[in-house]
Structure 1
Amino acid sequence: MTDHTEANMQGIISLQIENIKKIKAVTIRPNGGFVEITGRNGQGKSTVLDSIWWALKGKDNIQAAPIRNGADKGSIKLEVGGYLIERTFRRNQVGGDYTTKITVTTKDHTTMKSPQAVLDGFTGMLGFDPLAFMRQTPREQYDTLRGLCKLEVDVEELDRQYKDLFAQRTDVNRDVKAAQMRLDSMTLPDNAPTERVDVSALVEKVNEINRKNSEVAQRQRMRQTLLSDNVRRGEEAAKLHARLAAIERENEQADAQIRDITNFLHENKTQDPTEFTDKIKQAEQINSVMDLRERRNFEEKALHTAQTHADELTAQMKELQERKKAAIEAAKLPVSGLEFGEGELLLNGVPLAQLSAAEQLKLSMDISMAENPQLKVVLLKDASLLDNESMEYIRARAEKEGYQVWAERVASDGAVGFTIENGELKHSEEQ
């Protein structure tokens, strides 16, 4: 696009309004950088600032019913730098709607073929009201600036994805912490065994020894019983010679059994199972350590898996942050340190809502002036709400930066600035 900006463009040279809203006919030629539009409520002073905005920023920004009641047409003429801008309105005879037209003419009377494109070339956020911006909610401030910046990606979607990943990572980190706590509670003793012991084989060995011991004890009791019987039968033999033969046969049988048992006892001694019961206890301790080792191996794998997942999520979150950062940098926000947070604006990482009133006013002025580096005009509605300190800051700041401030204020005692009454100029700085 061809740059039609005049080198001497600064503020507004003159403003003529006719039959717009409550204004009948008003001409204002500012004298100085601070232009006060005063008057009682409902007299038409707000229309002055609206007219500047409508003349420069296109029909999409015009309110409904801009033509004054009772009139069929209206106009706004604005002289800025080397341009004469004229926006006309004509009421339609049918339906009560209206049509509007914009023309832009240079000093040498050349009419621009694409007038709105010329105006858009040297106006940014003209009409940006710092006071209105300060009164917006954090979300409204976010949306206001978002609408002015062309971001290559949807930062809200990146924030949503980041929030989802953050929640996932929180859950995974919870698993990581739980796995680490379980792992830390499993302390292996020094010189811990590395192989399991077959407890069932040891138990079977003890059972076998117990069976043998039981059999030996049984045979011992049996031997004792047989010995007792032999004694008893010997005593009876002295008395019962008649039964001697039978008893001798019984004794011979008993002696044979005794020999067998004696031989058995010589061959099978009583064994002590303590060695193997001790080994069973040791095996249980060893195997409990092996159980602990296996659980630790499982938990180490679980910890590694969870940590890997957490690291992957962290990398994804970092990528989203870098994409968001790149998108914001590409959008070229008007003030250094200003960035998009999660549904709110941040200045050097601090939410705007946490800034002091003075800091918020400074930021609002910074944004407004950064967006209007050529046509240096700032519009202030409801300037009556500013305290003296804030108003003085705006005056000094505008003077320092070479900006022209148009401030709408409710009339106070005495005529100040340009006073609007009943849609006409009652008092002017020129008078």
Structure 2
Amino acid sequence: MKINKLEIENVKRVKAVKIEPTANGLTVVGGKNGQGKTSVLDAIAWGLGGDRFRPSQEKREGSVTPPNLKITMNNGLVVERKGKNSDLKVTDPSGQKAGQQLLNSFVEELAINLPKFMNQSNKEKADTLLWIIGVGDQLFKLEEEENRIYSNRRSIGQIADQKKKYAEEQKYYPEAPKEIVSASQLIQQQQAILARNGENQRKRQNVNSIQHQFNNEKAEIERLENHLAQLKQNYEKTTQDLNYAHKEAVDLHDESTEELERNITQIDETNRLVRANMDKEKAEDDAKDYLKQYQELTGEIDKVRQQKRDLLANADLPIPELSVHEGELIYKGHKWDNMSGAEQLKVSTAIVRKLKPDCGFILIDKLEQMDEETLKEFGQWVEQEGLQAIATRVGSSGDCSILIEDGYVVGQEGIQLSNPQGEEIDPGPTWKAGEF
């Protein structure tokens, strides 16, 4: 739905204007400050948007005639506000009467109040875009998941750094054993050595005892000839025992317990070094483990971010190169506060148009931020999009479609749309786009 014709009388600063805006493209209402440019837009907003857009002082100061509005849409629908109370009258092409509800079905609030969108927070603008392209809920869930993983990764990273720092601060003792030394084990080893040494001593004493026995028996043989046979037999056996005892004792060497005694006295210090080494090794292992977890979480974050990019890449966006990142609008790689004024206006217009595609027009106040070249480029884009834009701009005929002076369109000075009794009269010529 677009506007075919505007007839406005005695609204704010407007005395009487009759305009036919360009159907596709930009119509710029120009002139000096205080001449009635913004009043034209306010009148359209009031006429189509309802009493919520009613100006606080709708009647032109000094006028005896009440405000008179007549807006004809491109489908023949006529919207009027006239009379003492400026009552709304909506007539469809068949002559049937309607009201504000019909207008609300195709008029987008932000299309007649674009500053409301442009003044929203960055998040609100991004949320509006995500809602109209139907991915808001999905993107919200992905961002929640990304934030959860990111928070977890940050905690893991902090622990990994702490473990690594702790490991680096620990001194390592390469000369220390790999495991804790047990005092009871050392004592058992000492007792085993002492037992073996005692056995050696017993064997040495056994040699002396047998030798003594040997001597006695030899003497007994000499003295007791009558017992010689028996003594010889004993002698042979004793000789064998002696030989065996000599063989066992000849290679015996006593073991030293000096090292064990030293280890026992140093066990606390040794174990301190072992524990220090074990703590360092554990800290290094912990740091490696948390680093691995950090890297895995980084991979998960990258995966979620890719899902977000894919979601937006496949969405039906209002204009190319428009996206959302971290809850903010991004256009051509720039956030809202880094966009030019023209880019902000273009993005806002595209999003608002997408909100309600049946609303084929948009009102834009104060285009002074655009130079002539940018204004021309914006107008070409509006025309290419098949959108009707009615805008105001402080300027002259060189960069404006029409000029407003003292409440009239230049060239329509003094026209009237109705007489003081409220009856319609022939208003004379209508300004049409392209004639100025």
Shorter-normalised TM range: 0.5 to 0.7
Change over 3 Å in CA distance of 1:421–1:176 after alignment to 2: same
Name the residue aligned to 2:370.
Answer: 386
Residue in structure 2 matching 1:408, options 371, 392, 407:
392
Q: CA deviation at 1:76?
A: 2.2
Does the 8 Å contact 2:38/2:392 carry over to 1? yes
* Aligned mates of 1:37, 1:413 — CA distance in 2: 10
> Which runs of 5 or more structure 1 residues have no equivalent in the other structure?
1-8, 93-98, 210-269
Counterpart residue number, 2:13: 22
2:65 matched to 1:78? no
Shift of 1:376: 3.2
Q: Deviations over 1:406-425 (max 9, x none)?
A: 23223526896433233233
1:363 alignment counterpart: 347
Does structure 1 retain, via aligned residues, the 8 Å contact 2:382–2:389? yes
Q: Which residue does the alignment assign to 1:47?
A: 39
CA distance in 2, matches of 1:415, 1:321: 45
Partner residue in 1 for 2:95: 109
**Residues 380-423 of structure 1: CA deviation (Å, up to 9, x unaligned):** 32223321110110232233333333232235268964332332
Q: Could you tell me how far apart the structure 2 residues matched to 1:75 and 1:63 are?
A: 14
Counterparts of 1:332 and 1:389 in 2: how far apart (Å)?
29
Equivalent residue, structure 2, for 1:425: 409
Give runs of aligned pairs for residues 74-153 of structure 1, distance below 5 A. Answer: 74-88=67-81, 100-101=87-88, 103-106=90-93, 108-112=94-98, 115-121=100-106, 123=108, 125-127=110-112, 129=114, 140-144=121-125, 146=127, 149=131
Distance 1:100 1:307 in 2: 72
1:48 CA drift (Å): 0.9
Q: 3-state DSSP class of the match of 1:385? A: coil
CA contact (8 A) 1:419 1:427 kept: no
- In structure 1, give the amino acid aligned to 2:329: L
- Contact 2:341/2:370 (<8 A) preserved: no
CA distance in 2, matches of 1:360, 1:163: 28
Where does residue 337 of structure 2 map in the other structure? 353
Question: Among the aligned pairs, what percent are the same residue?
Answer: 24
Equivalent residues of 1:418, 1:427 under 8 A apart: no
User: What is the match of residue 211 of structure 2?
Assistant: none
Q: Do 1:183 and 1:299's aligned partners in 2 also have CA atoms closer than 8 Å?
A: yes
Q: Which moved more, 1:402-411 or 1:358-367?
A: 358-367
Go from structure 1 to structure 2 and tell me whether the alpha carbon gap of 1:168 and 1:364 turns closer, same or farther (over 3 Å shift): same
- TM-score, normalised to structure 1, is 0.60
2:20 corresponds to which letter in structure 1? R
Structure 1: which amino acid aligns with 2:124? D
Aligned residue for 2:347, secondary structure, equals helix
* 2:163 aligned residue: 179
The answer to whether the 8 Å contact 2:110/2:116 transfers is no
1:292 maps to which of 277, 283, 290: 277
Q: What 5-or-longer segments of structure 2 have no aligned partner? A: 194-253, 413-430
Q: Which moved more, 1:27-36 or 1:378-387?
A: 27-36
- 2:21 match: secondary structure: coil
Amino acid of the residue matched to residue 126 of structure 1? A
Which amino acid counterpart does residue 105 of structure 1 have in structure 2?
A: D
Partner of 1:237: none
Q: Is the 8 A contact 2:365 2:392 kept in 1?
A: yes
Give, in angstroms, the shift of residue 42 of structure 1. Answer: 1.2
Q: Is the 8 A contact 1:172 1:310 kept in 2?
A: no
Paired with 1:20 and 1:306, the residues of 2 have a C-alpha distance of 70
Once the two structures are superposed, residues 226-254 of structure 1 have per-residue CA deviations (whole angstroms, 9 ceiling, x without a partner) of: xxxxxxxxxxxxxxxxxxxxxxxxxxxxx
Is the deviation greater in 175-184 or in 49-58? Answer: 175-184
What residue identity is the alignment partner of 2:34? G
* 8 Å Cα contact 1:194-1:290 kept in structure 2: no
Change (3 A) 1:85 1:183: farther
Change (3 A) 1:146 1:415: closer
What is aligned with 2:4?
Answer: 13
Q: Is the 8 A contact 1:16 1:25 kept in 2?
A: yes
Counterpart amino acid of 1:84? L
The alignment covers a number of residue pairs equal to 348
Deviation string for 1:162-192 (max 9, x for gaps)?
6687456424321122224545777989999
> Can you list the C-alpha shifts for 1:31-72, whole angstroms capped at 9, x where unaligned?
674423223211211111222223233333334232334557
Residue type of the alignment partner of 2:365 = K
